[in-house]
Amino acid sequence: MLANEKIFQAVKMFAAVLLALVLTFIVLLMVSDEPLRAFSLMLFSPLTKFRYFGNVIELMIPLSFAGLATALLFRTRLFNLGTEGIFYFCGIVTAAIATQTFSNSTLHPIITILISGIAGGLIALIPGFFRAKFKTDELVTSLMMNSILYGLGLYIIKYYLQATDVSGVASNLFQLTAKLPIIIPGTRIHSGFAVLIVCVILLYYMLFHTKLGYSIRMTGLNGDFAKYSGMNAFWLFLTVHFISGFLGGIGSSIELLGMYNRFQWSTLPGLGFTGALMAMLGKNHPVGVVIAAFAISYLRTGSDIMARSTDVPVEIVSIVEAVIVLFISSQYFLRKYHERALIKQGGSERA
């Protein structure tokens, strides 16, 4: 049975999750006075109330966008972690537009989100260009850019957008015309969810049914092969970086317009980095990323609810996340059982 690749992958996934949960429980045993309650809250509380389940979807939206943005880069074998900085900076772009008065409440969010996306795309082009032209290590440049964008963003907020009526980093309130409408009553799930679904479908078709997607996938699998085949890595890297930055930008904008009343991130939000986890868990597949984002959102929401009523902080979820990600992205985890099953089948015929 394990000889079947798909079944094997599913078993592997299941084993990784199980292992992660066992480890988490052991840690809970060590740090908590009520480990069982904490553990069951973490695992089951999102199912106990409709509103809690809504929280899962709400959290899943930005994680998915960050995950899609990163997955596209990883697919092309570009190890760029710049989505974090883009999320932060495009939040400021969003704040700048969303605080302006605008008469049309359909166009206001659309314009805000689009401009934010374009800003994200342009920002991503900076490390993208240097990678494409000079092979500059995009991991380092993108991380440096995160810190630079943070400083720059903070400066803009403080000197141009700072609200006068609140202390601490905050913009003025967004105009009501800019806010995204809630689409499922009883929750705060907003229309950004619909945008996400559209993006996933578009990305899926782009990746698996267009020439661009084909060249992205081939370049990611083997850059030498892509070059040999006549694909132009320079333009491809620019395109991919722009799309990724665009997804990060609209993700940030949608999160702010859907869930916040003003910009108030005083530190990097961490959503972009989590996107890297989503990409790895989802195997850089658009649908996989969304599933991963759902699972992680579920766990995070559960942990959050748990943290509110127990002595365990929400960061415990990092154990589950790290363990699952490490095992899922390892090629050889449980591999020997797969191989044994193959050998039992007697090996395929030698050609």
Partner 1 sequence: MNDNILELTGITKIYSNGVVANRNVSVSFRKGEIHSVVGENGAGKSTLMKMIFGIEHPSVGKIVYKGKEVHFANSMEAIKNGIGMVHQHFMMIDDFTVAENIVLGMEPLKNKIFLNKKESVRITKELAQKYNFDMDVTLHVGRLAVSAKQKVEILKTLYRNAEVIILDEPTAVLTPQETEVLFDNLKHFKEMGHTILFISHKLNEVKAISDRITVMQNGESRGTYDNKDITIDQMTELMVGRKIIMSYDQFKEPTDKAVMAFKVENINLNKKGIEVLKHVSFGVRAGEILGIAGVQGNGQNELISGLVGLSRFNTGKWFIENKELTSLTIEQKRHSGLAYIPEDRMKDGIAQGASVAENLISSYYKREDINGKIFMNNKGINTLANRLIEMFSVKTKSSKSKIESLSGGNIQKVVVARETNTSPKILIAEQPTRGIDIGSEEFIHHELIKMRNKDVAILLVSADLNEVMEVSDRLIVMYEGEIVAHFDTVKGLTDKELGLYMLGAKRQDEESIRRALTC
Partner 2 sequence: MPDLFEIIFKPEFGFTVIRVVVPILFAALGAYIASSAGIGNIAMEGTMLMAAFVGTICSAIFQNPWIGLMCAVLSGVLMSLILTYFTLVLKTNNILGGIALNLFASSFTVFLLFIVTGSKGTSATLGAKTLPKIDIPILKDIPVLGTIFSGHNVLVYIMFAAVILVYFLMYQTPLGLRIKAVGKDEHAAESVGININRIKTIALVLSGVLASLGGVYMSMGYLSFFSKNMTNGRGFIGLAAAAMGHGNIWMVTITSFLFGAFDALANALALYALPSEIIITIPYVAVFGAIVIYSIFEWRNRRARGEE
**Residues in contact with partner 1 by the rule CB under 8 A:** 205, 209-211, 214-215, 217-218, 221-222, 224-232, 335, 339, 342-343, 345, 347-351
CB of 163 or CB of 280, closer to partner 2: 280
Given the rule CB under 8 A, which of 2-10, 154-162, 256-264, 288-296 is the region that contacts partner 2? 154-162
In angstroms, what is the minimal distance from the CB of 225 to partner 1? 5
In angstroms, what is the minimal distance from the CB of 340 to partner 1? 10
CB of 151 or CB of 347, closer to partner 1: 347
- DSSP code per residue over 146-214: HHHHHHHHHHHIIIIIB-SSSSSS-BPPPPGGGSPPBSSTTS--BTHHHHHHHHHHHHHHHHHHSHHHH
| Total residues in contact with partner 2, by rule CB under 8 A | 47
d(CA 292, CA 287): 9
CB of 31 or CB of 194, closer to partner 2: 31
d(CA 50, CA 63): 20
**171 phi, psi to nearest 5 deg:** -90, 175
For the segment 94-153, give every residue that binds partner 2 (CB under 8 A): 130, 133-137, 139-141, 143-148, 150-152
For the segment 228-247, give every residue that binds partner 2 (CB under 8 A): none
d(CA 222, CA 240): 16
In angstroms, what is the minimal distance from the CB of 79 to partner 1? 17
Binding mask 18-47 for partner 2 (x = CB under 8 A): -------------x----------------
In angstroms, what is the minimal distance from the CB of 344 to partner 2? 23
Amino acid at the residue 317: V
In angstroms, what is the minimal distance from the CB of 250 to partner 1? 22
Q: Which 3 state secondary structure label does DSSP give 64?
A: helix
Residue 351 interface partner, choices partner 1, partner 2, none, CB cut-off 5-8 Å depending on type: partner 1
Give the alpha-carbon dihedral of 129, 133, 135, 137, to 10 degrees.
-20
15 CB neighbour count, 10 Å cutoff: 15
